[in-house]
Amino acid sequence: MPEPFKCGFVTIVGRPNVGKSTLINRLVQQKVSITSQRPQTTRNRLLGIRTDERAQIVYVDTPGLCAGAKSALDRLMNRAARGSLEGVDCVVFVVAASGWTAADDSVLSLVRRQPCPVILAINKIDLLKGRERLLPLMQQAAARMEFDEIIPLSGLTGENLADLKDSLLRYLPVQPPLFPREQVTDRDERFMAAELVREQVFRSLRQELPYAIGVGIEHFERMAKHVRIGAVIWVAKESQKGIVIGSGGERLKQIGVRARAQMEKLLGSKVYLELWVKVREGWADSQTILHSLHYGEE
C-alpha cells in the first residue's frame, strides 16, 4: 500500500552567510534564490517548492538574522525572517561547520520558542579538512537545545541532503499539494529578474561596494520571440555609481552580460536587458523605494 501524500512548510533559518540559499536551490533542484559571498544576499522571504511522488515540500528561504539593525531595510529583513517562523510544520536551523558563533546564539533564541520540530543542519561540511571536528560541534549544539535531529550536510555538493528530506517527511502533515506540481517559487518573473541583476552586482563588486545597493525593474515586456527588461541599480553615493559602472562602462556591461545569461535560462527566451545606475542617498531608509523594490511585502 503506497504511503499517503504529504505537504507542508519548512522554514530555513540561520545567521547571514551560512549557505541557506544554496541549500534551498539544491533541495528544490532549481535556482530560486540568488547566492554570493556577501552576507545577507537574501533580502526577501521567498518560497522554493519541490514536488515529487511522495510529497510537496514548501521551503521558506529567509534573510539572515542580524543584530543591531540600523536601516529600515535591515529592520524589514529581520521582520521577514522572524515572520517566516510562524505557522510552519518544521524549522531547519542552519549553522556552518566551521563552528558555533554568537550570531548563531541570537538565531537560536528565536528558534527555541517554536512549537514545531526543529532540525539542526550543519552546513558546509565539504569545507572541513577533518570530519572529526563535527562531533564536538554536534555536542556543543545539543547542549544548547534538544533538537529533534542533527544532520551534517553540504548544500553545495548535496551530501546528506537525502537524509534531510527523509527526516522532513516525518514531520509534514498528510494532505494534498498546495501549489501546482510545476510551480517552483511564489515569486514572479519581474522579481526574479531584479534578483539576478543584484546577484551579479554582488559577485562582480565583492567587497568594493558597500552593502546598500538595490535593484528595481523599470519595465518588463514579453514579445513574440524575446523579453525586454529595463533595470535600475540604486546606490547611495555618487562615488559608488562610478564603481558600479567601471572604467568606460566595462563593469556594468559585464554585469549585464552575466545577468542576461541567467535570465535567459530562467525565462526560456532571448532577453534584451538595459541597465541604469541611479543615486539616491539613504535609499535603504526610503519607504518609497523599499516599497518599489518589494521589501516588506511579506
The pLDDT tens digits for 77-101 are 666 666 667 789 999 999 999 999 9
The pLDDT tens digits for 236-281 are 888 888 889 999 999 999 999 999 999 999 899 999 999 999 988 7
Q: Give the CATH number of the domain where residue 121 resides.
A: 3.40.50.300
Q: Look at residue 265 in the predicted model and tell me its pLDDT.
A: 92
The residues facing 168 across adjacent strands are none
Q: Look at residue 27 in the predicted model and tell me its pLDDT.
A: 95
Are 38 and 131 in a shared domain? yes
Are 30 and 162 in a shared domain? yes
The residue from 169, 202, 226 where one domain ends is 169
Are 214 and 163 in a shared domain? no
Residue 177 lies in a domain: no
The pLDDT tens digits for 166-208 are 999 999 999 999 999 999 998 889 989 998 998 899 888 876 6
Q: Look at residue 207 in the predicted model and tell me its pLDDT.
A: 66
The residues facing 274 across adjacent strands are 230
Residue 104 lies in a domain: yes
Are 236 and 273 in a shared domain? yes
Residue 176 lies in a domain: no
Residue 83 belongs to domain spanning: 6-169
Are 153 and 16 in a shared domain? yes
Are 50 and 116 in a shared domain? yes
Q: What is the 3-state secondary structure (H, E, C) of 219-247?
A: EEEECCCEEEEEEEEEECCHHHHHHHHCH
Lowest model confidence (mean pLDDT) among 13-17, 129-133, 199-203, 205-209: 205-209
Are 210 and 164 in a shared domain? no
Are 79 and 50 in a shared domain? yes
The pLDDT tens digits for 26-77 are 999 988 887 766 656 666 678 899 999 999 999 988 765 555 555 566 666 6
Q: Look at residue 294 in the predicted model and tell me its pLDDT.
A: 61
CA angle 126, 128, 129 (to 5 degrees): 120
With cut-offs at 50, 70 and 90, classify the pLDDT of residue 158: very high
Total structural domains within the chain: 2
Q: Look at residue 87 in the predicted model and tell me its pLDDT.
A: 82
The residue from 169, 198, 232 where one domain ends is 169
Predicted TM-score of the model (pTM)? 0.81
Of 8, 6, 14, the closest CA to residue 119 belongs to 14
With cut-offs at 50, 70 and 90, classify the pLDDT of residue 216: confident
The residue from 137, 169, 201 where one domain ends is 169
Q: What mean pLDDT is predicted for residues 9-20?
A: 90
Q: Look at residue 51 in the predicted model and tell me its pLDDT.
A: 96
Are 137 and 205 in a shared domain? no
HSE-CB for 213 with a 13 A CA cutoff: 32
Residue 141 lies in a domain: yes
Which residue has better confidence, 153 or 72?
153
Q: Look at residue 137 in the predicted model and tell me its pLDDT.
A: 93
Question: Strand 226-235 to strand 270-279: parallel, antiparallel, or no bridges (unpaired)?
Answer: parallel
Q: Give the CATH number of the domain where residue 222 resides.
A: 3.30.300.20
Q: Look at residue 271 in the predicted model and tell me its pLDDT.
A: 95
Q: What backbone torsions phi and psi does residue 171 show, to the nearest 5 degrees?
A: -110, 0
Are 12 and 158 in a shared domain? yes
Residue 245 lies in a domain: yes
Residues 6, 250: Cα–Cα separation, whole Å: 50
Residue 178 lies in a domain: no
Residue 203 lies in a domain: yes
Are 155 and 193 in a shared domain? no
Are 225 and 142 in a shared domain? no
With cut-offs at 50, 70 and 90, classify the pLDDT of residue 132: confident
Residue 259 lies in a domain: yes
